[in-house]
Amino acid sequence: MTLAKAKPSQSSSISQKEVVPQKQKIIAFVSQKGGVGKTTSAVHAREWFAQYGTVGFVDADAQRSSSRWLTTLDPSLPVEITNDPTTLLKNLPQLKQKYDFVIVDAPGSLEEVSRAILSRCDLVAIPSQPAHLDLDSNLKTIEMVEIAQDIRGGMPKAVLFLNRAEGGTVLLREAKQTMDSGLTNLNIYRLQSIIHKRQCITDAPGQQTTIFQMASEIESRRKRKGGKRRSLSPEEIAKQEYHELFTEIVEILNA
């Protein structure tokens, strides 16, 4: 299963620039907070990065939600399942040699597992929901990232992004401000890209698909019918948001 390279979209106001990622990188989705979107983001990242090379995937969560989801997409996808910190410390550098990119889905708890991942990854992405409580609950994750950066001379690169945001709300504006002030003086960037809350994203694993595949099907159906391009579907907008998010991550990864 490969994802077609993102093409510029005529009817979209969101830019579709392309930045090619440097290879041999481990990108981990980590948060001590449960249910913020680590698995959802990691599964979409796997598919997006597959445009540019081979991708290994590590499901470090005992719930195995990402590996189960990936198996429904394609049982032949390379997925390693382990939530043992020592195994992660040993295997992640080997996987980095083997694949162009390695995506890691961290568990919602189990500090030792997250610490092991932070000891080995090149970039950590922290999904966060735009509620004060969620931003506060990032503090533990941020502290772990800071310790790892201290030990590893600034690595891993770290980004925080808003997921399940509801557009235009006061909460969202406040969340951005709270985040920015909370991250001042830290080596963690808040990404401009935001993934909004959409039913199609919630539905994707149950329907054994992804936003990229849903959007492609809509695009090809439209082409087959020869219909004029009307406004974008929620799936196409979500696809663009993921494209923007991963492009921004790559810009930081490449820098």
Ligand X SMILES: Nc1ncnc2c1ncn2[C@@H]1O[C@H](COP(=O)(O)OP(=O)(O)OP(=O)(O)O)[C@@H](O)[C@H]1O
Check binding of 44 to Mg ion (CB under 5 A).
Answer: no
Task: Give me the DSSP letters along 18-87.
Answer: --PPPSSEEEEE--SSTTSSHHHHHHHHHHHHTTSS-EEEEE--TT-HHHHHHHHH-TTS-EEE---HHH
Q: How far is C-alpha 104 from the chain's CA centre?
A: 9
Q: Which lies closer to ligand X via its Cβ, residue 61 or residue 219?
A: 61
Residue 139 vs residues 92, 153, 255: alpha-carbon distances, Å = 25, 21, 26
- Considering CB distances under 5 to 8 angstroms, the limit depending on partner class, which of ligand X, Mg ion, none binds residue 201? ligand X
Partner whose footprint covers residue 213, from Mg ion, ligand X, none (CB < 5 to 8 Å by kind): none
Is the Cα dihedral 131, 135, 136, 138 positive or negative? Answer: positive
8 A C-beta contact, residue 43 and residue 241: no
Measured from the CB atom, the residue of 38 and 46 that comes closer to Mg ion is: 38
Residue at shortest CB range from Mg ion? 39
Give the binding range for Mg ion (CB under 5 A) out of 33-41, 85-93, 95-103, 209-217. Answer: 33-41
Candidates 32, 39, 138, 240; binder of Mg ion (CB under 5 A) is 39
Binding site for ligand X (CB under 6 A): 34-40, 61, 63, 65, 108, 163-164, 195, 197-198, 201-202
Using CB distances below 5 to 8 A depending on partner kind, what does residue 36 bind out of ligand X, Mg ion, none?
A: ligand X
Buried b (16+ CB within 10 A) or exposed e, 42-71: bbbbbbbbbbbeebbbbbbbeebbbbebbe
Of the listed pieces 32-40, 75-83, 84-92, 95-103, which binds Mg ion according to CB under 5 A? 32-40
Nearest residue to ligand X, scored by beta-carbon proximity: 108
145 phi/psi in degrees, rounded to 5: -65, -45
Least distance in angstroms from the C-beta of 173 to Mg ion: 27
Query: Of 78 and 108, which has the nearer Cβ to ligand X?
Result: 108
Residue among 64 and 115 whose Cβ is closer to Mg ion: 64
Would you call 129 helix, strand, or coil by DSSP? Answer: coil
Q: How far is the CB of 236 from ligand X (least distance, A)?
A: 15
Nearer to ligand X, 142 or 195 (CB): 195
Neighbours of 165 (CB within 10 A): 20
Contacting positions for Mg ion (CB under 5 A): 38-39
